[in-house]
Amino acid sequence: MADKAAQFDNNVLITGESGVGKGVLFKYIHENSHRSGKPMVTLNCAAIPESLFESELFGYEAGSFTGASRHGKKGLIDLANGGTLFLDEVGDLSLPNQAKLLRVLQDKQYMSVGGLKVKTSNVRIIAATNNKLDFMVREGTFREDLFYRLNVFPIHIPPLRERREDILTLAQVLLDKKNLTYGMSKTLSGEVYSSLMNRPWPGNTRELENFIERLVLTSETNEITLNDLYAIDSFGSQGEFKPLKDPKLELNSYSEMVDHFERETLSRLLEECGSIKATSEKYNINESTLRKKVKRLKVK
């Protein structure tokens, strides 16, 4: 679908949960379109104050309002001229700002704030949202006419949990990316790949990338193993450290720390699954290897 979208100049609406890679897809479409040599500009509609949307999008003339630059300012449509404008989280726009966006999509014309000259728009619009815009249309919180203007070429990106076949490829691509960034040559063991396949990834590709980066940075050997994975599993989803069950326990070496974290994790998994065999099947860990680890670590 992305390759087809790149061939044409229609508006594109990308939908999907947070973190699935909507911004990455936008860049791919732009870079493979006839506009690839021109600018690609992003506006996060959820992050900009409602009162500044018009001046950000269309620009403003010198002295057009209190606090305006005496030189005026180009809008994002001007900056993206000939290229692509990415409207991220378009579902967060207020109804008045939706109307302003609709006008430029319909007429391909606009005026800067405080300006008198009508300008012609020459940008392709790619919008993205994690909201269900069709539902918002029925609720009256998103304009139906704007929805149809944006939804000329719809692309939905399913969450990572619904396309597990992509996880191994994504993990390898992200690992290569982090190796290049940090000048390393880390690899993932087969058991790590299996574990990655069986995780729910509520944060989708963004969460997977963060997880791979932490594995690359914290592992001590070139091959990233389950020990390394279990170690970073002892950090919360927001990066906060989960305290040890026994705060008096002293960990004097990295291997001792890994053993402690692995023991804690295995204990939790065994309690969840009820047996070594069930744990092995659910998390795709070799049963013999798991039994040896449980015995060595004296997991109860």
- 247-261, pLDDT tens digit by residue? 334 444 434 555 665
Within this chain, domains 1-156 and 160-236 share the same CATH topology: no
**Domain assignments of the chain as residue spans, ordered by start:** 1-156, 160-236, 254-297
CATH 3.30.70.270 fits 1-156, yes or no: no
Q: pTM for the full model?
A: 0.70
What's residue 276's pLDDT? 87
Place of tokens 């302003």: 100
Confidence of residue 6 (pLDDT cuts 50, 70, 90): very high
Cα–Cα distances (Å) from 189 to 96, 131, 285, in that order, read: 53, 37, 11
What's residue 115's pLDDT? 82
Distance CA 45, CA 91 (A): 8
Alpha carbon 70 to its chain centroid, in Å, reads 38
CATH fold of 160-236: Helicase, Ruva Protein; domain 3 (1.10.8)
24's tokens: 């990455």
Write the pLDDT tens digit of every residue in 94-131. 999 999 999 999 999 999 888 888 999 999 999 999 99
Beta strands in the chain (DSSP E): 12-15, 40-44, 59-60, 73-74, 84-88, 109-110, 119-120, 124-129, 153-156, 187-188, 223-224
3's tokens: 């390759």
What's residue 248's pLDDT? 37
pLDDT at 238 over 80: no
What's residue 98's pLDDT? 97
